[in-house]
Amino acid sequence: MTTNLLMESAAHDERAVYDRLSASLQSLGNDMAILRVKEFLATFPSFALAHNDLAVLYHQSGNPTLALAHHEKASRLQPDNILFRKNLADFYAVELGWIEDAVDIYLEVVRRNPRDTEALIALGQLGSALAGNSTLTAPPLRPQLDTAPDAETAPVVSTLQTTVLPIKTDQELYQQAQESLRAERLSEAVALLQKLSERNPDNALYHNDLGVARYQAGDIAGAQASYEQAAALEPGNSLYVRNLADLYFVELRRADEAIRLYLELHRKNPRDVETLISLGHIAAAVERIDEAKSFYRRALEIEPWNQEARQALAGQPQKVFQPPPETVTTAPQPVRSPEQLLGDARNLLEQGQAEEARRLLEQAVADNPRFAIAHNDLGVVACQLGDLGAAQVAYEQAVRLAPENLSFAMNLADLYFVAVGRPDDAIHIYLELFRKYPRNIEVLTALGRICQAVGRPDEAKTFYLRALEIEPWNNEVREALQGL
């Protein structure tokens, strides 16, 4: 059957023809998309990407036999294409239960690239399945887009999703973990925060939050280990130290150690009301009543309105302490932790109060110089205010503190390229990210644009084509490629 596609083939190479075909498939139903890809393969039977995409389409239409045939065909035609090999391995494992065959493929991938995180995760899950400790039957093997379109209108997808989690940035994982905690999906939150802690062993925030999740899940020993690690990494962070001290006192009955930690916090910040009240509670619990009263009274001198301190003092057999009238009007505002300052700064930034947000972020990094997220946000605010020198310093510090954080590195690279005139440094950062995250669309697209801007169109084309192999439906990348 003669079609427009076949008539164009005489004047275009197979890549150009397939690029145009892929763009048109987005508006077609599944059956028509299959027909068009089959027509293409009748003319170009050795084009591996078309076989891979046809396999995905057959899988969507409920025809696993033909899906398997085309996955294997794509892999035979391009045995060095990691994407096709992974798709075949995922199909073997999830759809057919051929776990050993899938393991062999992923071992081959890891031998070629020992730092392929996705392959390593998949091997771990497949190993657990072989040992009978887990199953690969859920979620079902179905190509999915973020918008979850109906199967009839879903465009061709070149990657299959299995139980292997997609590569996500640290920030994305952290946000997902916080959402899991709020929804009380504790096992999920623990798994995500444990992954973050393993990726970033020097990040106290991740260890602390892992301690919170473990504690809520009833894992006291795990919570203790995480809190101790966070406090060891940032002994000056009052939040981390308080969490550890409270655990010692409430769960482990180690009152002396809890008091020691709180007294150290009190020495560093004698006006911290929360520390004073906690010291009062602990002292009262171990029947050191005079000391408890002293701490409560000191808290009320600083915050005469504090009902917790007032009620605790009233619970003692001695008379209730009445703070001097003059302290009511001159009392300072409560001390905020770096994490609270960060949250307040983000709220101010959403309201357009960039200068005030910057002041809070500067205070946050002064209180906790190892607070990478605050350094990054300070860079964002400085950029908005046009202070590029300060933005560069802040971004560079964020990257030094959290070198594995994709967002921090991309912010610095973009600043180097767009504002500072250091394209080589920007390319260096993005190439390093590409080695770590070879299937990240943002990284591939950024590399393409930078190479295009500095007059290296062949390299730009390579990165754009790689991005389209992963997301054939990505119109932004396709337009960039056509603009070369």
Concatenating the DSSP letter of every residue in 431-474 gives HHHHHH-TT-HHHHHHHHHHHHHTT-HHHHHHHHHHHHHH-TT-
In a domain, 441, yes or no: yes
Dist CA 7 CA 23 (whole Å): 18
In a domain, 57, yes or no: yes
Same-domain check for residues 11 and 122: yes
Among 288, 308, 333, the domain boundary falls at 333
**The one-letter amino acid at 47:** F
Q: Which residues contact 88 (CB under 8 A, 6 or more apart)?
A: 71, 72, 74, 75, 105
Q: What pLDDT score does 318 carry?
A: 35
Same-domain check for residues 316 and 300: yes
Nearest to 244 by CA among 261, 257, 227: 227
In a domain, 451, yes or no: yes
Among 402, 430, 446, the domain boundary falls at 402
Query: Which stretches in the chain have pLDDT values below 70?
Result: 1-13, 26-27, 127-169, 316-335
Same-domain check for residues 359 and 415: no
pTM of the model: 0.35
CA distances from 255 to 23, 278, 279 (A): 67, 12, 10
Same-domain check for residues 118 and 54: yes
Same-domain check for residues 414 and 395: no
Same-domain check for residues 370 and 395: yes
In a domain, 393, yes or no: yes
CATH code (residue 377)? 1.25.40.10
Same-domain check for residues 16 and 52: yes
Same-domain check for residues 411 and 398: no
In a domain, 162, yes or no: no
Residues 93, 136 contacting (CB under 8 angstroms): yes
- Tokens 């709180």 locate to 262
Q: Which residues contact 264 (CB under 8 A, 6 or more apart)?
A: 241
Dist CA 368 CA 475 (whole Å): 43
Residues 382, 397 contacting (CB under 8 angstroms): no
In a domain, 143, yes or no: no
Among 77, 111, 130, the domain boundary falls at 130
Domain count, the chain: 5
Q: What pLDDT score does 331 carry?
A: 37
In a domain, 474, yes or no: yes
In a domain, 161, yes or no: no
Same-domain check for residues 312 and 416: no
Same-domain check for residues 321 and 340: no
Same-domain check for residues 172 and 208: yes
Same-domain check for residues 296 and 344: no
Q: What pLDDT score does 127 carry?
A: 67
Domain that holds residue 198: 168-252
